Amino acid sequence: MKKIILTGDRPTGSLHIGHYVGSLKSRVELQNSGEYEQFVMIADLQALTDNAENPAKIRENLMEVMLDYLAVGLEPDKTHFFIQSQVPALFELPMYYANLVTMARLERNPTVKSEIKERERILPVGFITYPISQAADITAFSATHVPVGSDQLPMIEQTREIVESFNRIYGEILTLPEAVIPKSANARRLVGIDGNAKMSKSLGNCIYLKDTPELIKSKIMKMYTDPNHIKVEDPGQVEGNVVFTYLDIFAKEEHFKKYLPKYQNLEELKAHYQRGGLGDITIKNFLNEVMQELLKPMRERREYFEQRKPEVLEMLKKGSQLAKERSDKLVLEVRKAMGLNYFEDELFIKSYINNV
Ligand code: TRP
């Protein structure tokens, strides 16, 4: 079976390094493996489910997210970029799928559940049902693989249930997708620079892919470490210490050779910190070097495409057209399977005419 990827992001803000380690990085790897056809979608409709009164925010962030994609190394020759609202299948299929999902099941979806808990039932219907819309996004392209952060796992689970119900009732039309998540637990959900369990725009604890070198450095200098590690001689904790959590994910041996040759690897650095005698400034400076090295090429690619805005628009326009054509084909099959293809169905036409 052909391997197809569908994934995407809401255009409600710029993407940050949590997005990068959680999913963008693997999208680039999957793209470059040459083994998949990859669709990457800017989910403007999903963003509207809880921003109905603020469409300007979505317009502002649409091209920002696209630039983030290009900055991390996704390429239009290898990945189809498109905008959700430009693809009619994505709002036709949810109408059919909605009948296969009970209210009780929707309310068990962790994202929906926590919002209901907070806002009771004062939630837009569109928001409560967005897991159904997400199932449409995935199945419209017969996606086999969905690279996402681990917070999205319940969405994939719900999609799989919809696929199973649909195929049981109407025949084997939809493809059962699987999630692709990072191997390391730290990367699956990157902590914020303040040590909060999640890097998120609303908490203001993010390092953005587009941050300037100065901003990156000042954020790293403010990072949460070990509050009991006051003097350099004090023994320090590496667990829960954000600098070490990030080093675990980002630091490679070659970084030590280049920037901190006194240590061969992270184990040695951790051991010294735990013994005492290693200051926070040293580890923060090292992390800063590592992060700057990672983010510099992204900044350069962003600048390159910022000089070529008409080209970037064209990529999205072309991609959206292709996404429309591809998903329209699947919709035809779905309509046929559900018996909604009246005017193309000779049997339906004949039996109607002969019976009158
Ligand atoms: N829910 C995803 C997010 O919040 C965005 C998204 C919409 C998505 N449709 C999708 C992700 C389909 C993967 C597959 O980032």
Q: How far apart are CA 354 and CA 260, in angstroms?
A: 85
pTM of the model: 0.94
Question: For residues 205-214, b (16+ Cβ closer than 10 Å) or e, as one string?
Answer: bbbbbbbeee
Protein residue whose Cα sits closest to atom 5 of ligand 1: 9
- The type of residue at 181 is I
Q: How confident is the model at residue 187, as a pLDDT? A: 82
Protein residue whose Cα sits closest to atom 3 of ligand 1: 9
- The type of residue at 255 is H
- Ligand 1 and 6: CB distance under 6 A: yes
Cα–ligand 1 centroid distance for 215 (angstroms): 28
Q: How confident is the model at residue 315, as a pLDDT? A: 97
Answer yes or no: do 102 and 185 share one domain.
yes
- Ligand 1 and 8: CB distance under 6 A: yes
Tally Cβ neighbours within 10 Å of residue 42. Answer: 28
Is 45 inside any structural domain? Answer: yes
CB 179 within 8 A of CB 152: yes
Cα–ligand 1 centroid distance for 190 (angstroms): 18
Residue 149 Cα: closest atom of ligand 1: 15
Answer yes or no: do 79 and 17 share one domain.
yes
- Ligand 1 and 46: CB distance under 6 A: yes
Domain C-terminal end among 271, 289, 305: 305
Domain C-terminal end among 281, 305, 329: 305
Answer yes or no: do 36 and 111 share one domain.
yes
Q: Which residues are 80's β-sheet partners?
A: 39
- Ligand 1 and 5: CB distance under 6 A: no
Answer yes or no: do 56 and 100 share one domain.
yes
Cα torsion angle, 184, 186, 190, 193, sign:
negative
- Ligand 1 and 37: CB distance under 6 A: no
Cα–ligand 1 centroid distance for 134 (angstroms): 6
Answer yes or no: do 218 and 247 share one domain.
yes
Domain count, the chain: 2
Cα–ligand 1 centroid distance for 8 (angstroms): 5
How deeply is 251 buried, as exposed, middle or buried, from its count of CB atoms within 10 A (0-12, 13-18, 19+)? buried
Is 196 inside any structural domain? Answer: no
Answer yes or no: do 90 and 225 share one domain.
no
Q: How far apart are CA 284 and CA 290, in angstroms?
A: 10
Cα–ligand 1 centroid distance for 284 (angstroms): 33
Answer yes or no: do 292 and 326 share one domain.
no
Nearest-CA neighbor of 146 among 186, 108, 178? 178
Q: Which domain, by its residues, includes 261?
A: 213-305
Q: How confident is the model at residue 356, as a pLDDT? A: 62
Is 207 inside any structural domain? Answer: no
- Ligand 1 and 44: CB distance under 6 A: no
Q: How far apart are CA 161 and CA 177, in angstroms?
A: 10
Is 55 inside any structural domain? Answer: yes
Cα–ligand 1 centroid distance for 298 (angstroms): 23
Answer yes or no: do 83 and 146 share one domain.
yes
**Average pLDDT, 10 consecutive residues per value, the chain (356 residues):** 93 95 94 96 97 95 98 97 98 98 93 85 90 98 93 94 98 97 85 90 93 97 94 94 96 96 96 96 97 98 97 98 98 98 95 85
Nearest-CA neighbor of 24 among 181, 224, 202? 181
Domain C-terminal end among 288, 305, 322: 305
Q: How confident is the model at residue 146, as a pLDDT? A: 96
- The distance between the two most distant Cα atoms of the chain, rounded to a whole number of Å, is 95
- Ligand 1 and 134: CB distance under 6 A: yes
Is 224 inside any structural domain? Answer: yes
Q: How far apart are CA 84 and CA 64, in angstroms?
A: 16
Tally Cβ neighbours within 10 Å of residue 316. Answer: 20
Residue 43 Cα: closest atom of ligand 1: 7
Answer yes or no: do 322 and 291 share one domain.
no
Is 202 inside any structural domain? Answer: no
- Ligand 1 and 85: CB distance under 6 A: no
Q: How far apart are CA 321 and CA 90, in angstroms?
A: 13
- Residue 247 sits in a domain whose CATH number is 1.10.240.10
Is 31 inside any structural domain? Answer: yes
Answer yes or no: do 67 and 172 share one domain.
yes
Q: Which residues are 79's β-sheet partners?
A: 38
Q: Taking the C-alpha atoms of 33, 34, 37 and 38 in order, what is their torsion angle to the nearest 10 degrees? A: 40
- Residue 111 sits in a domain whose CATH number is 3.40.50.620
Answer yes or no: do 74 and 183 share one domain.
yes
Helix axes 213-221, 280-306, angle to 10 degrees: 150
Is 133 inside any structural domain? Answer: yes
Cα–Cα–Cα angle for 253, 148, 171, rounded to 5 degrees = 140
Answer yes or no: do 91 and 142 share one domain.
yes
Pocket test residue of 148, 150, 153, 158 for ligand 1, highest count of atoms within 8 A of CB: 148
